[in-house]
Amino acid sequence: MSTDRARWVFDLGNTRLKCAPLQADGRRGPVLALGHADDAGFEALAAALPAQGLSASIASVASPALTARLLDLLQARFRLVSFARSQARLGDLQVAYPDPSRLGVDRFLALLGALGQGPGPWLVAGVGTALTIDLLDARGRHLGGRIAPSPQLMRQALHGAARQLPAEGGDFDEFARDTQDALASGCDGAAAALIERSLAQAERMLGARPGLLLHGGGIASLLALLPEARRADSLVLDGLAVWARGQASTLTPVAR
């Protein structure tokens, strides 16, 4: 087994697992993205992993049962397994939350990953089950953020309350003339509007307009509405690679 494939990072979300080997310089290698709704995703993961690896670093916002399933698989393959946790400071990143443990680890790692995207400030928007928005100034200070339903979750909630409203489909139009299009326009438009408001407020606060980074599985429908955005699909994994590099000398095995 080559040394650049001995250490891996894993981002376990509510609908997808993304993972990557770390290269010799500690940076993220090619990303593997898998669904985990059934056994096929875990079978594909098992086939992709080395038989014996040095370390695995996990960021999980998924259920305890799903996290435990991933942990069982990784403990059979890696000598050391660790879970990333949000912390008050790491490198140039300084978290705004008085209690950093209350900041979701995916948001923490996305901010850490944003520091590698070039000079800030940055507005970091993650679109998954939730829409998360965080502001990072040019010195790496996190200035706070927002959490709202993602467009996908809005659609699901509307469908749950009124089954005649479809949970997916439709195209964005400023003034739609079809219910399915109107749903897509309203939910995508709501998310885009919140991001645009956040950009405007950030510009007032900082005196400069921040760059916009979009990441997460639900960004495709928002990219056309936010032309200034930079797509950063694997921002959480990028941050996790930074976290893993900092922990490399202190990792201890997770109890079996």
Catalytic amino acids?
Answer: 106
Task: Report the helix count and the strand count for the chain, using DSSP H and E.
Answer: 7, 12
Q: How far is the CA of 246 from the CAs of 14, 85, 91, in angstroms? A: 26, 12, 9
Q: Return d(Cα 252, Cα 134) in angstroms, integer.
A: 31
Strands (E), 88-228: 89-90, 93-94, 122-127, 130-136, 142-149, 211-215
Q: DSSP character for 22? A: B
Number of Cβ atoms within 10 Å of the Cβ of 232: 23
DSSP string covering 39-60: HHHHHHHHHHS-SSEEEEEEEE
8-state DSSP, 157: H
Burial of 60 (0-12, 13-18, 19+ CB in 10 A): buried
